[in-house]
Structure 1
């Protein structure tokens, strides 16, 4: 492992936390790309509001990715945040690339936000169980942002 910049955590705890962070980093990168796919292609009533919202959501997801990636490095690991790693390891369902209906995008995004949110919540518990409350706290911050954005996106669905 590279240099360690945190005190009080043994190597095994750091290793577990790094794995948790990288697993969720891949999910958040995949989710960010899904959000941008929807942003570029959606059409329908309410287009401009959802289009602009999705840019803000992508920015927040990138902020979350930064938090997780930087924590992995602080713990002495590597951030595994390439497109190739995300494509290989993310468990989120592939996003439809030939969809334009705004409501279909809202549903597809909501479903993926719920999946990633579940993974992040598991990461909170796993980091706490491993003894790294700081990583659990970062994952909690990510979870809050994902929940809020899922709600923002879902609130645009038409009945």
Structure 2
């Protein structure tokens, strides 16, 4: 789509591609986090249920930022179930899982994958000359790294 945004066309193209990949993964991670929130069981149910709710609330805000930046650059943000299913870089989430620590481990794996892709996207968009997209990705990366840290803290200890 035409836009008056004066960012170079190659920077827009690079950023739209990076953002779409991160949006796709973000929507998939949002859905996995909701799956965990709805189905978690076990002795840590209460705290994990609330933790996962906080995560998907943050993810909703973050994926909205990614989608809006795509459109600002003249692209089309694609977040349909079909687009996400075809394009996600995340492993399928085990839908029969109930165990709290099992959910923590599965989510930690996916948050780590998304965090890595975000950091790669920061570098790619910065190198392409789009500091604004790199900044948006940096904010999302900070949120993702924080969630990963919280998940990993549950996996450490006297177990």
TM-score of the superposed pair, with normalisation by structure 1: 0.95
Q: Is the 8 A contact 1:5 1:76 kept in 2?
A: no
The match for 1:3 is: 2
2:30 aligns with one of 22, 32, 35: 32
**1:152 & 1:45 partners in 2: Cα distance?**
18
**Which secondary structure does the structure 2 equivalent of 1:50 belong to?**
helix
- Please, which runs of 5 or more residues in structure 1 have no aligned partner? none
The match for 2:14 is: 16
In the TM superposition, residue 5 of structure 1 has moved relative to its aligned partner by 4.5
In the TM superposition, residue 20 of structure 1 has moved relative to its aligned partner by 0.5
1:106 aligns with one of 90, 104, 114: 104
TM-score of the superposed pair, with normalisation by structure 2: 0.95
Matches within 5 A, 1:1-159: 2-7=1-6, 9-157=7-155, 159=159
**1:81 & 1:130 partners in 2: Cα distance?**
24
**1:90 & 1:125 partners in 2: Cα distance?**
20
Q: Number of residue pairs matched? A: 157
Report Cα offsets for 1:69-124 as digits up to 9, x if no partner. 00000011111111111110011100000010111110000011001111111100
RMSD (CA atoms): 1.1
**Which secondary structure does the structure 1 equivalent of 2:154 belong to?**
coil
